[in-house]
């Protein structure tokens, strides 16, 4: 049910980071890992070009590591521009990529149409034909699609053009019923999501959505100055009955992401009514140990609420001194964050790489 979709902008995690995340979350009930970072050139900007051989080998090993830990492995592809035209040359480019992806052998394949202009005539029809082609040539056992308009948030219309009328129902009606469709909720980053909302989305799609949860991701220019550490909030009690999957998009900080991700595991194990402080403390101690966890709990108002740019020089110095004494990778992530080491994340203007 719960899984990871590594699909943020900004510095890409190391292979060691991914393995640490998989090793921590697999025993806690996370069942899949979807690899689709926006700044991997072969996922998005240079999607027509194969991964270099060494990178393809590393992705193959990542899939094997997932399988060793009992998780399914997925790869994402953002075929920019194809929804405007799907010519013979485009089909050849896509087929070449699918052949390499088939050789890597993911269990799941994600075709992503997010973060590009969508004010295209017959958008749903264009995208469904691309998914039909992928279905004919891909070996993955399960296909996922992220629509261009993956939320009801009007921000998407402002950024990528007004959505075509009845786009969501048109796409759901055209796609094979086995294809799972990602949805982020009423907003791009939904702070709450209701049973009624998800039921309505299911009616429009003609299937339950796969919930793409944009928390604890912090890759936008507005969010990069904050560390998202507190537990997930405001899920309906019956969430697992309303969606096919719950994929969390993690933060730029792999090890710190584990704290809210373990809290998500707690939501599915014991329900949503547990005290949030206790949930945070248990997750943090599991990831970083009792001493660092106590510091993080005390510093939440600075790290998550105030954020880096609103800290005084004295507060920054105190945080550096406090976490600089620890050798844990999560503590090093805090120091890198304080020094602006994650800058440059976040999507650029519409059409930036089409």
pLDDT tens-place string over residues 198-209: 999 999 999 999
In this prediction the pTM is: 0.95
Task: Specify whether the CB–CB gap between 182 and 217 falls below 8 A.
Answer: no
Instruction: Count CB neighbours of 49 within 10 A.
Output: 13
Q: What pLDDT digit, counting tens, does each position of 161-176 carry?
A: 999 999 999 999 999 9
The CATH homologous superfamily of the domain defined by 2-279? Glycosidases (3.20.20.80)
Band of residue 354 on the pLDDT scale cut at 50, 70, 90? very low
- What DSSP character marks residue 270? H
All structural domains of the chain with their residue ranges: 2-279
pLDDT above 70 covers a percentage of the chain that reads 96
Q: Reply yes or no on whether the pLDDT at 350 is more than 50.
A: no
Look at residue 212 and give its three-state secondary structure: strand
- As given in the structure block, the two tokens for residue 72 are 């399914």
At 268 the pLDDT is 86
pLDDT (tens digit per residue) in 202-257: 999 999 999 999 999 999 988 999 999 999 878 998 999 999 999 999 999 999 99
Residues 43-102 have pLDDT tens digits of 999 999 999 999 999 999 999 999 999 999 999 999 998 888 888 899 999 999 999 999
Report the mean per-residue pLDDT for the chain: 94
For 116, left (φ over 0), alpha (ψ -120 to 50), or beta? beta
In this prediction, residue 135 has a pLDDT band, given cuts at 50, 70 and 90, of very high
Give the whole-number percent of the chain exceeding pLDDT 90. Answer: 88
Q: What is the end-to-end Cα distance of the chain in Å, rounded? A: 33
Q: In a 3-state reduction of DSSP, which class is residue 320?
A: helix
Task: Give the whole-angstrom CA distance, residue 233 versus residue 306.
Answer: 19
List the one residue out of 9, 18, 37 whose CA is nearest residue 258. 18
DSSP codes of every residue in 129-161:
HHHHHHHHH---SEEEEE-SS-SS-HHHHHHH-
Collapsing DSSP states into helix, strand and coil, what is residue 296? Answer: helix
Mark 162-178 as b/e (b = at least 16 C-beta within 10 Å): ebbeebbebbbebbeee
Tokens of 82: 């194809």
């Amino acid at each position: 049910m719960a899984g990871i979709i590594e699909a943020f902008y900004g510095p890409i995690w190391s292979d060691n980071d991914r393995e640490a995340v998989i090793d921590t979350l697999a025993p806690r009930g996370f069942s899949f890992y979807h690899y689709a970072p926006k700044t991997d050139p072969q996922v998005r900007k240079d999607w027509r070009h194969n991964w270099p051989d060494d990178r393809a080998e590393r992705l193959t090993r990542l899939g094997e590591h997932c399988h060793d830990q009992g998780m399914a492995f997925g790869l994402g592809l953002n075929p920019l521009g194809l929804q405007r035209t799907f010519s013979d040359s485009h089909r050849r480019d896509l087929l070449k990529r699918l052949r390499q992806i088939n050789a890597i052998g993911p269990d799941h394949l994600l075709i992503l149409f997010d973060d590009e202009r969508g004010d295209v005539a017959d958008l749903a029809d264009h995208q469904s034909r691309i998914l039909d082609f992928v279905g004919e040539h891909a070996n993955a056992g399960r296909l996922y699609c992220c629509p261009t308009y993956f939320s009801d948030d009007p921000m998407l219309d402002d950024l990528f053009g007004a959505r075509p009328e009845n786009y969501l129902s048109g796409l759901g009606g055209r796609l094979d019923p086995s294809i799972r469709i990602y949805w982020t909720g009423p907003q791009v980053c939904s702070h709450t999501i209701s049973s009624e909302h998800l039921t309505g989305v299911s009616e429009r799609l003609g299937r339950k959505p796969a919930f793409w949860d944009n928390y604890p991701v912090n890759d936008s220019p507005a969010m990069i100055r904050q560390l998202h550490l507190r537990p997930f909030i405001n899920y309906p009690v019956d969430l697992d009955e309303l969606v096919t999957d719950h994929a969390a998009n993690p933060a730029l900080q792999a090890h710190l992401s584990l704290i809210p991700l373990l809290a998500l595991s707690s939501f599915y194990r014991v329900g949503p009514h547990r005290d949030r402080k206790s949930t945070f403390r248990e997750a943090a101690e599991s990831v970083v140990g009792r001493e660092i966890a106590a510091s993080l709990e005390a510093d939440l108002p600075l790290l998550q609420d105030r954020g880096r740019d609103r800290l005084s020089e004295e507060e920054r110095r105190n945080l550096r001194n406090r976490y600089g004494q620890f050798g844990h990778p999560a503590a090093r992530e805090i120091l890198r964050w304080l020094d602006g080491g994650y800058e440059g994340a976040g999507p650029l203007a519409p059409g930036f790489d089409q």
